[in-house]
């Protein structure tokens, strides 16, 4: 038995997130379908995280235990021939038999894209949040800096999560504009449920003056979810990188 680390990309629009679930098609299910077609065996894969419905991944890692002899480029090609158009494997490599894609990840980067033109852009439909009112990305970037450091991020965790330790270290949090595209980038050693989407909703509220400029700092102190903004919708969110 060999443990393979598969690195994949997907446009999440058509999926109910990564993880297999009773109602709705998921990325994990489609990947397991393709693996079965290639290897002839139904095998489970373990992911580096869960992504929600509509969230995208430019880099997502998962492991597969298989006795099938194909590896590397050839295995990636074989799987891609059986995957739907919106999912693709771009790297396959062998890892140690005890390698775990979630526990061994030392960090991840997420980005959140906002199409900030006057009118909606068909090329960013389902791939960015559309906001027509011009955003001051400088104000957002300044507020984002308050998100960095080692803190208890409990306030930035949606209900329904059973995680006990909510302390994380955020090493990068910035907001940049390129033309009409505003991108929020967050790198941390780990993320709580909806952490980036609550951050983005909060940054938008701070920019609009609906929340005070130090709302993030305050919520890190109070650890209260209600001190923050709404959870931003999923279509702007991308799992950008996983670090091992």
The residues binding a second copy (CB under 8 A) are 9-11, 56, 58, 73, 76-77, 80, 85-90, 117-123, 125-127
Contacts of residue 232, defined as CB under 8 A and 6 or more positions apart, other chains included, come to 112, 129, 197, 198, 200, 201, 204
83 CB-side CA count, 13 A? 23
Kindly tell me which of 42 and 118 has the beta carbon lying closer to a second copy.
Answer: 118
Cα–Cα distance measured from residue 230 to residue 244, given in angstroms and rounded to the nearest whole number: 32
Q: Which is nearer to a second copy, 60 or 147 (CB)?
A: 60
Q: How far is the CB of 188 from a second copy (least distance, A)?
A: 24
Helix (H, G, I), strand (E, B) or coil at 2: strand
Catalytic one of 33, 52, 152, 205:
52
CA gyration radius, the chain:
19
Closer to a second copy by CB, 121 or 223: give it. Answer: 121
Q: Is 218 exposed, middle or buried (CB count within 10 Å of its CB: 0-12, 13-18, 19+)? A: middle
Of 111 and 194, the one with the shorter C-beta distance to a second copy is 111
Q: In this structure, what token pair is assigned to residue 103?
A: 């526990």
Q: What SS3 state is found at 82?
A: coil
Q: Are 83 and 38 in contact (CB under 8 A)?
A: no
- Min. distance of Cβ 22 from a second copy in angstroms? 25
Instruction: Give the three-state DSSP class for 16.
Output: coil
Mark whether 52 is an active-site residue.
yes
Total residue length of the chain: 244
CB of 131 to a second copy, least distance (A): 14
Rounded to a whole number of angstroms, the minimum distance from the CB of residue 80 to a second copy is: 6
Q: What is the smallest separation between the CB atom of 9 and a second copy, expressed in angstroms?
A: 5
Rounded to 5 degrees, what are φ and ψ at 239?
-75, 115
Q: 13 burial class (0-12, 13-18, 19+ CB within 10 angstroms)?
A: middle
- Cβ proximity to a second copy: between 40 and 122 the closer is 122
Catalytically active residues, by annotation: 52
């Amino acid at each position: 038995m060999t443990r393979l680390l598969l690195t994949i990309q997907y446009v999440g629009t058509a999926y109910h997130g990564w993880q297999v679930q009773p109602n709705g098609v998921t990325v994990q299910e489609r990947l397991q379908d393709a693996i079965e077609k290639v290897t002839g065996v139904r095998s489970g894969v373990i992911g580096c995280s869960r992504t929600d419905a509509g969230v995208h991944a430019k880099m997502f890692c998962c492991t597969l235990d298989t006795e099938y002899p194909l590896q590397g480029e050839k295995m990636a090609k074989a799987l891609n021939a059986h995957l739907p158009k919106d999912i693709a494997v771009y790297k396959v490599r062998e890892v140690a038999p005890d390698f775990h894609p979630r526990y061994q990840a030392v960090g991840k980067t997420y980005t959140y894209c906002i199409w900030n033109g006057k009118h909606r852009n068909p090329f960013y439909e389902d791939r960015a949040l559309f906001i027509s009112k011009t955003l001051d990305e400088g104000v957002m970037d300044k507020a984002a800096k308050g998100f960095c450091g080692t803190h208890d991020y409990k306030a930035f965790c949606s209900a329904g999560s059973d995680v006990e330790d909510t302390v994380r270290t955020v090493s990068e949090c910035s907001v940049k504009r390129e033309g009409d595209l505003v991108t929020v980038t967050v790198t941390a050693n780990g993320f709580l449920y909806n952490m980036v989407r609550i951050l983005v909703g909060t940054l938008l509220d701070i920019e609009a003056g609906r929340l005070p400029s130090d709302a993030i700092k305050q919520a890190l102190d109070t650890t209260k979810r209600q001190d923050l903004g709404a959870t931003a919708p999923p279509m702007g969110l991308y799992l950008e990188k996983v670090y091992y």
